[in-house]
């Protein structure tokens, strides 16, 4: 059984973080049981911590017996291995109030909990409360997207219509579009905002078709002031949905209502997307979001840990920045695992806890200067002989500086060693090269990405 750990904020915070174990376990469970089972049986579960046990709340008795029979052992093992101690896990039916502590018979009824601020509610779909502009860390990889999103929420439908936001998984697209929704509603409480995934758009459409309620469907979507649709790459190949969406799009666009779309790819790269939709998508403002730079990764980690009243040491922060993965989602996952681990082990987030939480990312492999040289020479198409030569042309001096930088930061070789392995130069030359690349990296997103690519490739060999 897990012991509730009293934190500075009282046990409530402690429970909340224990429950974070559950979200931490989700990726592993997904991988283990496959997408279908995961979506059907795991996603609908809510996890609560009650009396030192993790209670998995499910919607029905049937669900309860199915999950218990088929998945409980896996769930139990996954949670226990994350916690570093055996966990007590029970599957309960939510409707029966099993998970909710009941007041003693003569105790006064608990006050209903009132949120500090009235939650802003979307007309269609649901806004995630924590995904706001304030909680979004801005830097060179996402500032264009951020500023566009702000402009859109200040004057919906006026400029940038549609706004098409694209970029890789876990980089903040869903966060930003929720922020747009919040901000539109903050400025005009009566605005009608729809924010939903393309999948729910399709499901709503299918339900309407089945029930012969297409008029109601059209009316519902065409009277909003802003339609925010997440992950439109999902519509690829879904002809009927694309067709209906096309008409919705046109109706809203003509009425100068704001449309915001996200996708993991640019419109031109979504295969199975009708040409007419593609050209509509491309007709507005396209903003791309890139993986965060090193500095942003550090800032994000600091912000997320402070939000949980945890201050990370520089050493731990550096570990996460270096090895926590490239997307914000991966970083957050690693951090949450560390926080949960620290809690169940009753320690702070020590280097050891961080390494355990980083799991496979943290495998420390030694990288040699020679490996760095090989990889850099390959990538830039210069020979190793040139790399270690004293030639000063930019085609060789730039790759050389990059290779020196990586020899220092990834291979962790000393300045004199690097100097020697690069044709016996003075070690101050190496120091200068490392400094130069460091400065460029901080300023230039392209350089940062190039280096992140090398770092990933060197560590994953």
Site residues for Mg ion per CB under 5 A: 173-174
Q: Is 329 in the site for ligand ADP (CB under 6 A)?
A: yes
Q: Concatenate the DSSP letters of all residues of 357-395 into one string.
A: HHGGGG------HHHHHHHHHHHHT--HHHHHS----HH
Strands 89-93 and 46-50: unpaired
Residue nearer to ligand ADP on the CB measure, 298 or 342: 298
The residues pairing with 286 across neighbouring beta strands, listed in sequence order, are 164
136 binds, options ligand ADP, Mg ion, none, Cβ within 5 to 8 A by partner type:
ligand ADP
Pick 58 or 202: Cβ nearer ligand ADP: 202
Question: What are the counts of helices (DSSP H) followed by strands (DSSP E) for the chain?
Answer: 19, 9
- Both tokens assigned to 203: 């499901």
Structure tokens at 342: 């620290």
DSSP structure string for 102-122: PPPTTSPPPPPP--SSPPP--
Q: Does 173 help bind ligand ADP (rule: CB under 6 A)?
A: yes
165 or 447: whose CB is closer to Mg ion? 165
Please identify, using beta-carbon distances, which residue of 143 and 199 lies nearer to Mg ion. 199
According to the binding rule CB under 6 A, does residue 448 interact with ligand ADP?
Answer: no
What are all long-range contacts of 378-387, with beta carbons under 8 Å and residues at least 24 apart?
Answer: 379/454, 387/422
Q: How many residues interact with ligand ADP (rule CB under 6 A)?
A: 16
Q: Which residue in 47, 54, 92, 171 binds ligand ADP (CB under 6 A)?
A: 171
Q: From the list Mg ion, ligand ADP, none, which binds 17 (C-beta under 5 to 8 Å, kind-based)?
A: none
Rounded CA-CA distance 335/331 in Å is 6
Q: From the list 332, 358, 406, 433, which residue makes contact with ligand ADP (rule: CB under 6 A)?
A: 332
Which residues, 6 or more positions from 25, have their beta carbon under 8 angstroms from its beta carbon?
75, 78, 79, 82
Among 156, 172, 267, 291, binds ligand ADP (CB under 6 A): 172
Q: What angle do CA 309, 26, 228 make, to 5 degrees?
A: 80
Question: Pattern of binders to ligand ADP over 287-326, x per CB under 6 A?
Answer: -------------x--------------------------
Q: Which is nearer to ligand ADP, 132 or 401 (CB)?
A: 132
Of 147-155, 166-174, 235-243, 442-450, which segment contacts ligand ADP by CB under 6 A? Answer: 166-174
| Window 380-409: residues binding ligand ADP (CB under 6 A) | none
Report the alpha-carbon angle 143-335-49, nearest 5: 125
**CB of 59 or CB of 129, closer to ligand ADP:** 129
Binding mask 225-264 for ligand ADP (x = CB under 6 A): ----------------------------------------
Contact range with ligand ADP by CB under 6 A, out of 108-116, 328-336, 409-417, 427-435: 328-336
- Binds 169: which of Mg ion, ligand ADP, none (CB < 5-8 Å by kind): ligand ADP
Residue 328 interacting partner from Mg ion, ligand ADP, none (CB closer than 5 to 8 Å by kind): ligand ADP
Pick 184 or 434: Cβ nearer ligand ADP:
184
Q: Report in angstroms how near the CB of residue 177 gets to Mg ion at its nearest.
A: 8
What 363-369 contacts at long range (C-beta under 8 Å, 24+ apart), as own/partner pairs, is 363/459, 365/459, 365/461, 366/411, 367/410, 367/411, 367/412, 367/458, 367/459, 367/461, 368/411, 369/407, 369/411, 369/413, 369/417, 369/418, 369/421
Name the one residue in this structure whose structure tokens are 């109601």: 216
CB of 329 to ligand ADP, least distance (A): 4
The answer to whether residues 217 and 205 touch, using CB atoms and an 8 Å cutoff, is: yes
User: How many Cα atoms are found within 13 Å in the side-chain-facing hemisphere of 93?
Assistant: 9
Q: Look at residues 176, 459, 438, 453 and name the one whose alpha carbon lies nearest to residue 291.
A: 453
Q: Which residue is nearest to ligand ADP (CB)?
A: 172
Does 164 sit near ligand ADP (CB under 6 A)? no
Q: Which is nearer to ligand ADP, 183 or 244 (CB)?
A: 183
Indicate which single residue of 328, 335, 404, 458 sits in contact with ligand ADP (rule: CB under 6 A): 328
Question: Measured from the CB atom, is 78 or 174 closer to ligand ADP?
Answer: 174
87: left (phi over 0), alpha (psi -120 to 50) or beta: beta
Name the pairing type of β-strands 46-50 and 53-58: antiparallel
Structure tokens at 129: 């409360």
One character per residue 103-142, x = contact with ligand ADP (rule: CB under 6 A) = ----------------------------x---xxx----x
Choose between 300 and 458: whose C-beta lies nearer to ligand ADP. 300
Sites of contact with ligand ADP (CB under 6 A): 131, 135-137, 142, 169-175, 300, 328-329, 332
């Amino acid at each position: 059984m897990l012991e509730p750990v009293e934190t500075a904020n009282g046990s409530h915070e402690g429970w909340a973080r224990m429950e974070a174990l559950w979200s931490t376990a989700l990726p592993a469970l997904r991988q283990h049981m496959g997408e279908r089972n995961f979506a059907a049986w795991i996603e609908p579960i809510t996890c609560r911590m009650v009396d030192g046990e993790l209670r998995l709340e499910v919607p029905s008795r049937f669900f309860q017996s199915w999950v218990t029979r088929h998945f409980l052992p896996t769930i139990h093992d996954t949670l226990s291995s994350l916690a570093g101690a055996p966990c007590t896990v029970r599957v309960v039916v939510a409707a029966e109030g099993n998970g909710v502590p009941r007041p003693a018979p003569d105790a006064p009824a608990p006050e209903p909990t009132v949120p500090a601020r009235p939650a802003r509610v979307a007309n269609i779909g649901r806004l995630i409360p924590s995904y706001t502009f304030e909680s979004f860390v801005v830097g060179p990889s996402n500032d264009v997207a951020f500023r566009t999103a702000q402009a859109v929420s200040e004057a919906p439908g006026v400029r940038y219509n549609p706004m098409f936001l694209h970029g890789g998984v876990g980089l903040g697209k869903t966060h930003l579009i929720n922020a747009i929704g919040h901000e539109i509603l903050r400025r005009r409480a009566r605005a009608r905002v729809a924010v939903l995934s393309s999948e729910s758009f399709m499901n709503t459409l299918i339900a309407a078709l089945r029930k012969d309620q297409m008029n109601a469907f059209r009316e519902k979507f065409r009277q909003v002031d802003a339609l925010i649709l997440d992950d439109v790459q999902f519509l690829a190949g879904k002809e009927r949905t694309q067709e209906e969406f096309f008409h919705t799009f046109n109706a809203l666009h003509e009425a100068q209502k704001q449309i915001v779309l996200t996708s993991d790819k640019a419109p031109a790269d979504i295969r199975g997307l009708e040409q007419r939709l593609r050209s509509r998508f491309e007709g507005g403002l396209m903003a791309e979001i890139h993986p965060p730079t090193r500095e942003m990764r550090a800032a994000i980690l600091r912000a997320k840990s402070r939000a949980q009243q945890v201050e990370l040491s520089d050493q731990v922060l550096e570990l996460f920045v270096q090895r926590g993965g490239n997307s914000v989602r991966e970083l957050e996952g690693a951090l949450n695992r560390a926080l949960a681990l620290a809690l169940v082990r009753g320690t702070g987030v020590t280097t050891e806890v961080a390494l355990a939480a980083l799991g496979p990312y943290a495998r420390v492999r030694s990288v040699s200067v020679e490996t760095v040289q090989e990889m850099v020479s390959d990538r830039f198409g210069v020979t190793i002989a040139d790399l270690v030569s004293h030639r000063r042309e930019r085609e060789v001096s730039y790759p050389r500086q990059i290779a020196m930088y990586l020899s220092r930061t990834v291979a962790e070789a000393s300045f004199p060693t690097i100097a020697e392995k690069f044709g016996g130069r003075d070690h101050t030359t190496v120091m200068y090269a490392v400094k130069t690349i460091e400065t460029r990296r901080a300023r230039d997103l392209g350089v940062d990405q190039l280096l992140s690519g090398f770092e990933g490739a060197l560590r994953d060999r």
